[in-house]
Structure 1
């Protein structure tokens, strides 16, 4: 019994109530950065830490913008017109090949292009029409830079049919759409039928006495 009492007394003496010899780890050198002093306050290193963050964000943004620019350039190049299409974006016409009083049809951008060499009587008739009486009011001077020539796209503004030259109720020199009965006068202005607007005039430039560039 005495031996058991001595053993229990020795066991109780080995139990420790406090661990004062254990050192608590210090992670300040990690939290504040390996390049900063461990004793430095966070407020003292704020500027340098912000500068580092700004540099990282700026670099990432720059790389992202360059990548976006590359993708946009590739996409735009993919959608851009090919060389053969660009070659047809403009057409040069010799007006000497268009007889007076006649309308000649050319192909431009996949659409018919009407070039009419108007006579003096056709010019006078077109300019005698009161502009206020027209559905789509435009004077003949606005539609014909050169009074002798009318340049329009041969597509009806109703449903896209191709009008017939020198036909309809406002000829000679007018146009008639056989699909739904729209009539256009000698300046290709709608005068009758369901078409809401005049025939479209494309961008064109006169070069010299007989040259015409459309587009």
Structure 2
């Protein structure tokens, strides 16, 4: 199975089948899927969260997705914090964009990490790696991850826990579509502002 076929396999139907097939393991599949996304960013976190909410209910689905996403993000952060100085990963430090973002995150701490992780359309894997390579404290990072992922995952869970309502209740569909668009738009605007701030501070320095 090549990469494209693997990506095509991840549909809502297949993920639901996977979760139901391993129901005997309790919440483990619901926690592991979002956790794996932190290591393999091409995996569809939005679909995992929606499937969890549909399979386990709104609150349990949200809890399992939130736990998995936070644990995965923390493991990626700790990996790059521990091994980021090794020769094999030194090229990351030399990348101009990574270097600028690292300095900006170190200077501002909690704020940018929290904001970026609130939105499902920003590259959270990059945020985790950069935070791990930077000197931001583990406490600041953990607080930002727990809070940011909570906002993002609850929003997606709310959309996914009753997918039938999206068809049978057109008003709900319009509201959900608007919320998704708003999250995407605000996330992109924040990303643009962060990039401008990084460039401005870098040129000023």
**Common fold by TM > 0.5:** no
Greater relative CO (CA pairs within 8 A, separation 6+): 2
Q: TM-score range by the shorter chain?
A: under 0.3
Q: TM-score, normalised by structure 1?
A: 0.17
Which structure has the bigger radius of gyration?
1
More helix by share: 2
